Amino acid sequence: MTFQTKVTDLLGTNFPIIQGGLAYLAYSELCAAVSNAGGLGQVTAMSLKTPDELRKEIHKVRMLTEKPFGVNFAIGQTGRPYEHMLQVAIDEEVPVISMTGGNPAPILEKLANTSIKKLVLVAAKRQAQKAEQLGADAVMVVGQEGGGHLGR
């Protein structure tokens, strides 16, 4: 069973289901399980301490699935730089990068000339419009009651 939507066409998934960032839970095993089930699994980059750890998680995902997956960046939530982790995801040519919790412009600019799909998590109409204007391939809208992210 599959659903054909703009999201499934964009991501190459069977279902328009995108696993959340889930800090300290979204590692290779969960990511691959979601992708194998037909959704888009994600590894959360900022839960990892080093770029090498992220690279290892990406390699593990690729051993566990041939399906599309993503790497999530909770920018602005961790208070630490993310650019070195972003470079790993780009070098590894991950299919999708999602971002939340901060200004997505620097990431979207860095990804502009790549084939990586760009998803931005937003909680407001203005944020969605801005993400689209900046070049996001899709926006994911969450309610302000969502945990651990941008809310009000």
Model pLDDT, residue 124? 86
Rounded CA-CA distance 102/8 in Å is: 26
Say which residues have a Cβ less than 8 Å from residue 15's Cβ, sequence separation at least 6: 2, 3, 8, 37, 38, 39
Domains of the chain in sequence order: 12-141 (3.20.20.70)
pLDDT at 79: 74
Least confident of 27-31, 114-118, 131-135, 140-144: 140-144
37-64 pLDDT per residue, tens: 999 999 999 999 999 999 999 999 999 9
